[in-house]
Structure 1
Amino acid sequence: MQQQQLSELMQAAATDAVRYANEEHHITLDHSLDSLALVDSILSELHQRELAQQHSAEMIFTLCNMLGAYIGEVFIAASGGQWQQNKVDSTAPFIYVQYHDKEFPFGSVCYYKIMQDNAISLKNYVKQAMANAMQ
């Protein structure tokens, strides 16, 4: 996949995340850094739902990619960077934001919050990622 295609794909996924947040959670995401607290609340709700009833791997994968794309687009708008795809393991490729020599796998962090540790904050993760990106 070419860089332009990957960027367009992630922008479309971020748009899907905004639609999903509005339709399913009645939350308006406005592409601001402050809206990341709202993404945290969506992920927390998804974590609670997952504890109550396990969702399909495909559904979790899709939600993490959409919300990770949204977070990545907010990061790129605020700090810069570009989408990259890691294909080292062809059975488990992943997409991340690269800024200089740093990699930020926002979708993976979404997955971890839903499936493992609801206490982590994506808003704080992005804040730290922005600080790290500037070093």
Structure 2
Amino acid sequence: MSDVGEQLMHAEEMRARAADFVGQATAGNRLPLDYSEASLRLVDFLIDGLRKHGADEARVSGVLAGLGAYVGEVLVRRAGATWIDFDADQRAYFVQPVGVRMPDGRVWSPLGKVRNCFEAGSRRESLRTFYLTLHGRSRRSRGGPGLSPMPPS
């Protein structure tokens, strides 16, 4: 399992992980990580920066996990998703311990989507495009990755 899975993440701690990441990433910087859909362009840019500087995935594993938590929290706040702990089949499929369930029941892995973006580059795997084309979003945004969808269990 990936480094993220080895950290034994649980759904109930993902909001706090995202907030911790935002706090660390914005300390002393003016990064607009405001949980908006538009902020996902910045996440794409940050991941591209890691790739362009030749960062090894193992070395930036914690940053990728933080970005995945942030992306998932954007889905929770803006698309009506809910953090969930994956069951055994979902963990095997997504190779991640947690993900989000959309209002229509579809399940996605924002942590996996961030890793895919890092591996392929945002020209091929944009997180903002992922959000904009995401199936299962609620029609009404709530104010305040994955890989392919998996049917609800």
Name the TM-score, length of structure 1 as normaliser: 0.76
Tell me the amino acid that sits aligned with residue 46 of structure 2. I
Tell me if 1:88 matches 2:93: no
Q: Residues 76 and 22 of structure 1: is their aligned pair in 2 closer, same or farther, counting only changes over 3 Å?
A: same
Q: Which residue of 2 aligns with 1:63?
A: 63
Unaligned stretches of 5+ in structure 1? none
Return the match for 1:54 from 40, 56, 76: 56
What is the total number of aligned residue pairs between the two structures? 125
DSSP 3-state at the match of 1:39? helix
Show structure 1 runs of 4+ deviating over 6 A.
Answer: none
Which residue identity is paired with 1:21? A
Call closer, same or farther: CA 1:25–1:60 in 2, change over 3 Å: farther
| Greater per-residue helix proportion | 1
Displacement of 1:115 in angstroms is 2.1
CA contact (8 A) 1:83 1:98 kept: yes
User: What are the equivalent positions in structure 2 for 1:1-135 lying under 5 Å apart?
Assistant: 6-23=10-27, 27-49=31-53, 52-55=54-57, 57=58, 59-88=59-88, 92-99=95-102, 100-119=104-123, 120-129=125-134, 132-134=135-137
Structure 2 counterpart of 1:45, which letter?
Answer: G
SS of 1:36 mapped into structure 2: helix
Note the C-alpha offset of 1:134: 4.4
CA deviation string 1:62-113 (max 9, x = no partner): 2222111111111111121211122416785421110132112111111111
> How far apart are 1:7 and its partner, in Å?
4.5
Matched-pair contact (CA < 8 Å) for 1:64–1:108: no
Q: Structure 2 CA distance, aligned partners of 1:123 and 1:78?
A: 13
Give the aligned partner of residue 147 of structure 2.
none
Q: Which residue does 2:4 correspond to in 1?
A: none
Q: Which amino acid aligns with 1:97?
A: V
State the percentage of identical aligned residues: 24
TM-score by length of 2: 0.68
Return 5+ residue gaps in structure 2 as ranges: 1-8, 139-153
- Superposed CA RMSD in Å reads 2.7
* Cα distance in 2 for residues equivalent to 1:110 and 1:48: 16
